[in-house]
Amino acid sequence: MSGTLVLVRHGQSEWNLKNLFTGWRDVDLTPLGHEEAQEAGRKLAARGLKFDIAFTSALIRAQKTCQYILDAVGQHELATVRDQALNERDYGDLSGLNKDDARAKWGEEQVHVWRRSYAVAPPGGESLRDTGARVWPYYMHTIQPHVLRGETVLVAAHGNSLRALIMALEGLSGDEVVKLELATGVPMIYRLNQDSTLASKEILEG
């Protein structure tokens, strides 16, 4: 067995609460989101996990979640790499819109396709496949080498950037990955073999 990769979707954001398409818009955590991120850290601390390096996106909701986790495990000064390769999917013209308003404007079916298909992008935005096109090489070249050296790595990011990453880790199809739901602030612990295949997965729910 090689290393450990811990993935955490950021805690609830202000726009999650308001049912708005967020994407690359830089919105903060809600009070519940702060709580969820702190609880994620407590769960990981209870497992005795210590990290060698952390990665997060260029967006504050993921960065704060990352910092709460590091604080909880007693590693508040750990080296942390921020990169927009891990940003949420860009929703383009949908960004900032209420999801119900978007349905009223473009129709229920069209908005559903934009949200839940693998390869269809909203106007001016990214599909999940487009998101993967920046997440996968970043993971392969920048994150995975640490894991394969036997390190324990934290990635605090977003629903869709993590979906793309999990797609690669678990070998999911496009149809399978769009059905994958990731709760906010719930750590997922992946242990990898030295050939980069998946040895085990554990979700710290409840």
Catalytic residue numbers, as ranges: 10, 88
Tokens at residue 43, please?
């769960």
SS3 3: coil
* First-to-last C-alpha distance (Å) of the chain: 27
The Cα-based distances of 200 to 52, 69, 163, 203 in angstroms read: 20, 22, 17, 10
What distance in Å separates the CA atoms of residue 197 and residue 48, rounded to the nearest whole number? Answer: 24
What distance in Å separates the CA atoms of residue 102 and residue 39, rounded to the nearest whole number? Answer: 33
What distance in Å separates the CA atoms of residue 186 and residue 4, rounded to the nearest whole number? Answer: 16
What distance in Å separates the CA atoms of residue 22 and residue 94, rounded to the nearest whole number? Answer: 8
Beta strands in the chain (DSSP E): 4-9, 53-56, 80-82, 152-157, 188-192, 198-203
Tokens at residue 161, please?
């950037």
